[in-house]
Amino acid sequence: MNQPTHRTLKNLGYYLLAFLAILIALYPLTYFVLDRNFGLLQSKDEALLLNVFWNIGFYTHILAGGLALLIGWIQFSQKLRIKQKRLHKLIGKTYVVLVILSGMAGIGIGFFATGGWIAKIGFITLGLIWLYTTAAGFSSAKAGDYLTHQKMMTYSYAACFAAVTLRIYLPLLIMLFGDFIPAYRVVAWLCWVPNLFFAYALNSKLRDSVSVEIGPV
């Protein structure tokens, strides 16, 4: 593929990533605007809906997760990384804090996920991977290893992007299975496993020279 075509495709991919991230990042707001008889909450029993800890976990998860998704894509702009190093660091540190909050809360509410153990283990594994890759991405930036930093943050945002892919696949899977529960069990895994393979493919194209020097965090 010639250089301009390659660059155009890359830019289109980036704008699509940004568009989908912003769209889904705003979705949690519906839980604050509409009454509690909405979305996932409809599938929960009364005892869980009254549980203070579950509620704290749920709202922390969707609010911090929405914000992490909203700001994360900005970090993949090479122009910004080179020209606005301070901004890159500020957004990066904010993203890490949001991931810690949303990831820990996501793991907590994961134990109560609809769809039984298959769905629970899917979400909990995703949460652990999200926390691990983000922590590894942050510590490698601190250590000045920017290639590992870039790779780990690509994995981290691929995990974060599960929020987007879940909402694309779920309606299709419900149509396929004709039922919510089997579709939800499948999507608890399908929303993130292919994303990580995609991140692996992107990362395997990175060479040392591609990694951008941004100085210590």
Site of interaction with ligand HEM (CB under 6 A): 24-25, 27-28, 39-40, 61-62, 65-66, 68-69, 103, 106, 109-110, 112-114, 123, 126-127, 130, 159-160, 162-163
Q: How far is the CB of 208 from ligand HEM (least distance, A)?
A: 29
**Cα separation, 60 vs 63, whole angstroms:** 5
Neighbours of 210 (CB within 10 A): 11
* CA contacts within 13 A on the Cβ side of 114: 14
End-to-end CA distance of the chain: 36
Q: How far is the CB of 165 from ligand HEM (least distance, A)?
A: 10
Whether residue 133 contacts residue 95, with contact meaning beta carbons closer than 8 Å, is answered with: no
Q: How far is the CB of 192 from ligand HEM (least distance, A)?
A: 7
Q: By C-beta, is 62 or 173 nearer to ligand HEM?
A: 62
Neighbours of 171 (CB within 10 A): 11
Q: How far is the CB of 176 from ligand HEM (least distance, A)?
A: 18
**Cα separation, 158 vs 179, whole angstroms:** 27
Q: By C-beta, is 112 or 198 nearer to ligand HEM?
A: 112
Q: By C-beta, is 140 or 195 nearer to ligand HEM?
A: 195
Q: By C-beta, is 136 or 212 nearer to ligand HEM?
A: 136
